Amino acid sequence: MILSSQSDDSRQVDELAAGVQRGERRALAEALNLLDDRRDSSRARSAELVHLLQGDTLAPGAHMIGMTGPPGVGKSSLGACLITEWRRRGLTVGVLAVDPSSPLSGGALLGDRLRLHSNPDDRGVFFRSLSSRGHYGGLSAEVWPMCQVMASAFDIVMIETVGVGQREIDISRMCDTTCVIAQPGSGDSIQSLKAGILEVPHILVVNKADMGAMATRTASELAGALTSEHPDGAWRVPVLSTSATQGSGISELVDCLEAHFQTLLQNKLLKHRRRGYQAYWIVNRLQEEFGAHGVERLGGEAAIVEQIQSEIPDLYRQYDALRRQLADRSPTIKS
Ligand SMILES: Nc1nc2c(ncn2[C@@H]2O[C@H](COP(=O)(O)OP(=O)(O)OP(=O)(O)O)[C@@H](O)[C@H]2O)c(=O)[nH]1
Ligand SMILES: [Mg+2]
């Protein structure tokens, strides 16, 4: 009996994965809920699902794009404009809106605002909100696996999050292209560029270009503060201007996002970087669960990353194998 229920389970996961790949909304919602479910009984199914969707290469076709910036800069408005342009170009879009866990909004505000700007009947766009669940400063662990699911279903996966501290860095270690949006007249982005904190963006956008001279000045100050190349290499960070309310600069931004993706593909950087991000996710989770001490006991961050990158990618199974290694060394840890 146990055998037959196991095979039922894996058949269901097969079907779920196939439904996700066909972009079926019910399958997508179910798959994302499964990843959100931390019960032990769901873990094995999550592992199987991500295994099926990522395959051996961890290179689904989608372009994963991170949009970040200070509160109120226009991320949602600009995101809605981008969606309209992508749809006009025949591309499908999955959106993951990661909200700060605000006790007031219950963490659903950001995604809802974006949704408000979009056509609810369009089957080529899919939204999911996720609260960051008290991971102060950082993105919650579910974001990466959820992106993998979305990447199997859509041409573009856009993650929107308020850029504060660690979260900006986390998003840049998940997305192929990180886009930081700056506010006209605000020195924040320029300060962080100068301090070397803002080495993350591949594209800098000054939104609210309709504010005129102030926006133009901010754009040229940002351009002046940039080092010429992104530390990834092979890419000069451009500063673009947009106005979400007037719809200006949107098509240029979409072109620029695509140009960055093509640069990654041409330089064969995409797969390697995604493997690096997956390793970063695994190390981060181990760190969360077992602390720096646990990571050290496995040989330290660099050694774990190297080991993971040399293996065939298999997100949860690689993570579980490392967890088990720690549990074997310390019988008090539940494997
Ligand atoms: N003038 C002008 N206002 C804009 C533009 N884009 C957005 N806004 C306004 O800025 C305010 C915030 O816009 P949102 O799109 O909600 O900004 P956000 O960055 O998503 O905000 P949070 O999710 O709260 O961090 C709204 O009142 C928008 O109407 C723009 O291009 N020009
Ligand atoms: Mg928003």
Q: pLDDT tens, 273-296?
A: 898 899 999 999 999 888 899 999
Q: Which ligand is nearest to the CA of 80?
A: 1
DSSP 45: H
Q: Is 161 in the pocket of ligand 1 (CB under 6 A)?
A: no
Which of the listed residues 67, 73, 77, 110 should we mutate to test ligand 1's pocket, taking the one with most ligand atoms within 8 A of CB? Answer: 77
**In contact, 166 and 284? CB cutoff 8 Å:** no
124 phi/psi in degrees, rounded to 5: -90, 5
Least confident segment among 23-32, 86-95, 192-201, 311-320: 192-201
pLDDT at 198: 57
Q: Is 167 in the pocket of ligand 1 (CB under 6 A)?
A: no
Residue among 34, 53, 33, 54 nearest 44 (CA): 34
Domains and CATH numbers, the chain: 1-58 (1.20.5), 63-266 (3.40.50.300), 268-335 (no CATH)
Per-residue pLDDT band at 78 (split at 50, 70, 90): very high
pLDDT at 170: 83
Res 107 pLDDT > 50: no
Q: Which residue has the higher pLDDT, 210 or 229?
A: 210
Q: Is 243 in the pocket of ligand 1 (CB under 6 A)?
A: yes
Burial-class residue 61 by CB neighbours within 10 Å (0-12, 13-18, 19+).
exposed
Average pLDDT over residues 285-312: 90
Assign 3-class secondary structure to 115-160.
HHCCCCCCCCEEEEEEECCCCCCCCCCCHHHHHHHHHHHCCEEEEE
Tell which atom from ligand 1 comes closest to the C-alpha of 69.
19
pLDDT tens per residue, range 119-175: 767 889 998 888 766 555 567 788 999 999 999 999 999 998 887 667 777 888 889
**In contact, 329 and 297? CB cutoff 8 Å:** yes
Handedness of CA 268, 152, 314, 65 (dihedral sign): positive
Residue 19: how many other CB atoms lie within 10 Å: 17
Percent of the chain with pLDDT over 70: 81
Average pLDDT over residues 59-65: 85
Q: How many CA atoms lie within 13 A of 287 on its CB side?
A: 13
pLDDT at 90: 97
Tell which atom from ligand 1 comes closest to the C-alpha of 70.
25
Residue closest by Cα to atom 25 of ligand 1: 71
Residue closest by Cα to atom 14 of ligand 1: 74
Query: Which residues, chain by chain, have CB under 5 Å from ion ligand 2?
Result: 75-76, 110, 113
pLDDT at 273: 87
For tokens 């573009």, what's the residue? 156
Q: Is 112 in the pocket of ligand 1 (CB under 6 A)?
A: no
Mean pLDDT of the chain: 84
